[in-house]
């Protein structure tokens, strides 16, 4: 059995066990390998991002956390390459670092032959993106959006005027290649669009947002769309 197939079989055994889980001894007996091999490969699966739980002592064992478990995913060479290209070409996109990490995990579990073909194809796709905003600032914007907390920013407007604002983030928007943080500006008491590249400093406060909604921004143009996957 190839290693990728073996790790998949081990994962599926844990998935089938549900909340009960399996002991290392049970898994070793099922697959006719040593307990040491089971523990080594469970550690490898956990390091690759598989959401494992473990309980030591009598009645303990290993299992999969329900909230993070995903069914097996098979990608074609082109699909895998599209993920690499999309992430590499958009370093300024919100959550781009997390996207790169997630894509890396997907690439790590591809079987060796698929990975080799993807690596060969990847050498034929070049990107030279111009990063225009600080990683620290983008991280603060992302955290404020995710946790729905007020973001304090030092902002320089297009005309050069500087100001300090407390902003309640509502959406990230990209238009004409520029990323904006759109939110409720407490200084102006209204929705405002802030170019992320013009934010000079950003910090997440302890204050929760008041619950402003996407509808308050207005109707998007017909060409605009969310990044949600269309499953229709």
If one compares 110 and 132, the residue with the highest pLDDT of the two is: 110
Query: What torsion do the CA atoms of 29, 31, 34, 40 make, to the nearest 10 degrees?
Result: -130
Give the chain's mean pLDDT. Answer: 86
Instruction: Tell me: pLDDT of 141 over 80.
Output: yes
Task: Report which of 17, 122, 3, 26 is spatially closest to residue 63, judged by C-alpha positions.
Answer: 17
d(CA 62, CA 23): 6
At residue 59, the pLDDT reads 63
157-166, 181-190, 223-232: least confident range: 223-232
Task: Report which of 202, 210, 187 is spatially closest to residue 138, judged by C-alpha positions.
Answer: 202
Q: Which residues of 100-117 are buried (b: 16+ CB within 10 A; e: fewer)?
A: eeebeebbebbeeebbeb
Per-residue pLDDT tens over the stretch 88-108: 999 889 988 888 878 887 887
Query: What torsion do the CA atoms of 70, 231, 91, 211 make, to the nearest 10 degrees?
Result: -90
Task: Report which of 177, 164, 95 is spatially closest to residue 132, judged by C-alpha positions.
Answer: 177
pTM: 0.66
HSE of 160 in the Cβ direction (CA atoms, 13 Å)?
Answer: 0
Instruction: Tell me: pLDDT of 133 over 80.
Output: no
C-alpha distances (whole Å) from 145 to each of 33, 142, 153, 204 are 47, 5, 14, 10
At residue 17, the pLDDT reads 83
pLDDT band at 44 (very low <50, low <70, confident <90, very high): confident
User: Can you tell me the mean pLDDT for 139-159?
Assistant: 94
Q: What is the bridge-based pairing of β-strands 61-64 and 52-55?
A: antiparallel
Q: Domains in the chain, please, with CATH?
A: 3-68 (1.10.10.10), 77-122 (no CATH), 135-217 (2.30.30.520)
**Residue 25 CB coordination number (10 Å):** 11
Instruction: Tell me: pLDDT of 185 over 90.
Output: yes
pLDDT band at 69 (very low <50, low <70, confident <90, very high): very low
Q: Bridge-partner residues for 151, per DSSP?
A: 167, 204
H/E stretch holding 173 reads strand 162-175
């Amino acid at each position: 059995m190839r290693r990728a197939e073996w790790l998949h079989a081990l994962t599926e055994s844990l998935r089938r066990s549900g909340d009960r889980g399996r002991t290392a001894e049970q898994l070793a007996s099922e697959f006719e390998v040593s307990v040491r091999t089971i523990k080594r490969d469970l550690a490898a699966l956990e390091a690759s991002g598989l959401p494992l739980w473990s309980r030591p002592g009598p009645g303990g064992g290993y299992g999969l956390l329900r909230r993070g478990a995903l069914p097996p995913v098979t990608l074609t060479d082109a699909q895998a390459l599209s993920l690499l290209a999309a992430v590499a070409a958009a370093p300024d996109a919100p959550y781009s670092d997390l996207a790169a990490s997630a894509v890396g995990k997907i690439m790590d579990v591809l079987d060796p032959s698929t990975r080799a073909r993807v690596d060969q194809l990847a050498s034929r796709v070049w990107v030279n993106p111009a990063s225009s905003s600080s990683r620290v600032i983008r991280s603060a914007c992302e955290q404020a959006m995710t946790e729905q907390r007020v973001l304090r920013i030092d902002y320089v407007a297009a005309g050069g005027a500087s100001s300090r604002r407390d902003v309640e983030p509502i959406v990230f928007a990209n238009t004409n290649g520029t990323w904006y943080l759109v939110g409720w500006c407490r200084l102006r008491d209204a929705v405002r669009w802030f170019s992320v590249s013009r934010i000079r400093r950003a910090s997440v406060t302890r204050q929760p947002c008041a619950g402003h909604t996407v509808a308050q921004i207005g109707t998007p143009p017909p060409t605009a769309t969310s990044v949600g996957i269309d499953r229709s």
